[in-house]
Amino acid sequence: VSFTLLLKQRLLISMSAANKLIAIILKVARVFRSMNNVFSFFPALESLGFGSYITEVKEVLQECKTVALKRRKASSRLENLGIPEEELLRQQQELFAKARQQQAELAQQEWLQMQQAAQQAQLAAASASASNQAGSSQDEDDEDDI
């Protein structure tokens, strides 16, 4: 069994265990919500014996909120450009069309270069063949003279 296969199996087992743990925490959190009318992971973590992880969980939660806020700001910047979405879509399609056209032109140029190279190779081969034939007929004439 390869190391990569073992690593993949362990990763799948770890992901499965993590998913089960999250499901359990969610169930306990829902129970706390039904009792207190507030949804929170923290009492659930505490009751399941994971109270020592609460600080790290809060840090990760804050990081997630920060990333989400940055994404919202980035999307609102796009909205604040003042350009309607239809116009942005039209511009994007135009850029894609230009890129496709440039790619097609490049492919056409490459094809022409390959054709020219093939023609030059054929001419060189024909020239070499003709000079070989001329050389061999000259040798035959020389033998006839002997």
Condensed to tens digits (0 to 9), the pLDDT of residues 14-44 reads 888 888 888 888 888 888 788 877 667 788 8
> Which tens digits make up the pLDDT trace of 61-99?
899 899 998 888 777 766 677 788 888 889 999 999 999
The one-letter amino acid code at 104 reads A
pLDDT for the residue numbered 139: 55
What pLDDT score does 112 carry?
92
The DSSP code sequence of 119-139 is HHHHHHHHHHHHHHHHHHHHH
For CA atoms 41, 43, 48, 51, the dihedral sign is positive
Where does 37-84 have alpha helices with state H?
Answer: 41-47, 54-79
